[in-house]
Structure 1
């Protein structure tokens, strides 16, 4: 039995090293993809990602945008006329003053109807490889379209909205200056997507640390980052967005859903899209950028604090419950991921 226990420890360490190496490989491939491909539609231009020797890369300080489209998209993002009842806008679920999310386990839509899952942040969305917790959409444009046509979210009445914007001089002028065909359904969504792609939060303290400023992080925060890597968190949370670039089962080691109980269809994750049994309880790994600002956590909004989310992750994803001191150190590191938007620290 003693040899068996030793063998298990060796295999666990081997698996951890393999996961970290895989994370670095995924990060390198994703960095190459971002630097050579456009993420979405005509609103996006190639993004140059800084080279580092770490599995996480800093968000680029400058990303080319179409300022006219972004300005128009920002207005549309806040305009309730895009909802059926003229009460809900994109910002209802993605409040930039609250980390680009809603800080609720489930966000309200049309007539108070609640979303089936927790709303992820819209900040740094350009660095996600798919959209929705179940990864249903490859393009941000299609993801936006699904939300706007969803009768429980926006339930956009397109003809009514188009006529309203055409009859608003400021909107009509902006659309005609940017788009040859003026106000159309496609152009409305294109402008909103351009705005969403501009919502980047570079220059976090951790980004500055990655860029060579070793004083940007305290000794405790650096130790938290070391633990984040040593215990394998970085195997899923890496790349520019510290996540957002792969699928993983929720409960890789323990059975989270059996322990939580009250399983719903929303808990099936990617299975709802593929109908492949292997995808049951599989989700897109969320980004940890600005994570300290967006409680509650997970697709079900079940973790109310950052420390609570870390404890759940280490138990069910890594199978290695950590001490409270270790959890606190990792939380200190994660708080250094809060970035800067429009010159102001989030």
Structure 2
């Protein structure tokens, strides 16, 4: 017996879940398009415009809360080649691979506040997970990257990340007889920037995590969630969290100001010398899939627990002080978004 009571109305609504989900999907699409048309009129508490980018051009599967589908089918030989490249530290003169920051045991991220930079320096942002990244229209915390190919190019050439260049990568791979054989079997031009990118992206597209309890629940397997998780999902919608964390990735498709209704500065998110006009970052809303496995949280990795990040987001983005019982139930729901790792990422 659970140590709390779920309102009968919540359980009753479960019986009508398929039709309610359809209505909710339509409502989210309508509201999203309406918000996109009206957002130039929206202002935060300082009178500055609230930016919500490109909502009208997003496909329906990025607007409605829908179960995650299996990864697209790529040539398994290209996926396997891309996996080897992903974890090969020889692609960087610094001895770093993609897998150094996107660690399988950490669900595609890094168990650190920020990624390592040059020497003892740290990067500006926390490492986003590579899992399900192929499903997001925007990548990176600022959301300025709009394709996996662009993201790979930036990482290869960034001196703080891999500190490499395509000439180095091609020369290094060409000196390996096994790589020459694999590439020549798959690509007419052999080892080129295009073929390397194609193989790595085939692997990254395979890193999709369907099968979370929440996905099964959306497909009609209502016993996949506990009563506490169902209550948490209802609260997630009632508080308005779903306005930003929606779509097949439950996020990743909007650029939103961090600190809409309350200033994060007072909690130490910005240095005292930071001008007030610079304190309002516009960040990509992160996906919540597998979020229970990808801490620490926020763009700077400054929050260790889901409980704390739920409290902070309620205050900063919703202007609400959330009771601890509601925090606990929403966190229980967030745990239902954890799926098994892909077989080729273990």
Using structure 2 for the length normalisation, give the TM-score.
0.79
What displacement does 1:136 show?
1.3
Q: State the alpha-carbon separation in 1 of the partners of residues 279 and 191 from structure 2.
A: 40
2:76 is aligned to 67
Q: 1:158 aligns with which of 166, 189, 195?
A: 166
Q: 2:195 aligns with which of 187, 193, 210?
A: 187
2:110 is aligned to 102
2:141 is aligned to 133
Please tell me whether the aligned partners of residues 70 and 210 of structure 2 are also in contact (alpha carbons under 8 angstroms).
Answer: yes
Where 1:248 maps in the other structure, the secondary structure is strand
Q: State the alpha-carbon separation in 2 of the partners of residues 178 and 266 from structure 1.
A: 52
What displacement does 1:342 show?
3.1
2:236 is aligned to 228
Once the two structures are superposed, residues 241-268 of structure 1 have per-residue CA deviations (whole angstroms, 9 ceiling, x without a partner) of 0000111111111011343253499999
Note the residue ranges of structure 2 that are not aligned, 5 or more in a row: 1-25, 34-53
Correspondences of 1:1-346 after superposition (within 5 Å):
21-22=27-28, 25-26=31-32, 55-86=64-95, 88-263=96-271, 280-342=280-342
Q: State the alpha-carbon separation in 2 of the partners of residues 177 and 113 from structure 1.
A: 41
What displacement does 1:112 show?
4.6
Please tell me whether the aligned partners of residues 113 and 296 of structure 2 are also in contact (alpha carbons under 8 angstroms).
Answer: yes
Change (3 A) 1:165 1:267: farther
Note the residue ranges of structure 1 that are not aligned, 5 or more in a row: 1-19, 36-48, 269-276
Please tell me whether the aligned partners of residues 207 and 345 of structure 2 are also in contact (alpha carbons under 8 angstroms).
Answer: no
Q: State the alpha-carbon separation in 1 of the partners of residues 64 and 329 from structure 2.
A: 19
Where 2:287 maps in the other structure, the secondary structure is coil
Please tell me whether the aligned partners of residues 132 and 249 of structure 2 are also in contact (alpha carbons under 8 angstroms).
Answer: yes
Change (3 A) 1:181 1:154: same
What displacement does 1:108 show?
1.4
Where 1:220 maps in the other structure, the secondary structure is helix
What displacement does 1:107 show?
1.1
Change (3 A) 1:62 1:68: same
What displacement does 1:33 show?
5.2
What displacement does 1:299 show?
0.4
CA RMSD of aligned residues (A): 3.1
Where 1:300 maps in the other structure, the secondary structure is coil
Q: State the alpha-carbon separation in 1 of the partners of residues 202 and 245 from structure 2.
A: 26
Change (3 A) 1:25 1:240: farther
Change (3 A) 1:24 1:117: farther
Q: Which deviates further from its counterpart, 111-120 or 208-217?
A: 111-120
Change (3 A) 1:294 1:24: farther
Change (3 A) 1:112 1:279: closer
What displacement does 1:61 show?
2.8
Where 1:283 maps in the other structure, the secondary structure is strand
Change (3 A) 1:69 1:250: same
What displacement does 1:25 show?
4.8
Q: State the alpha-carbon separation in 2 of the partners of residues 230 and 64 from structure 1.
A: 37
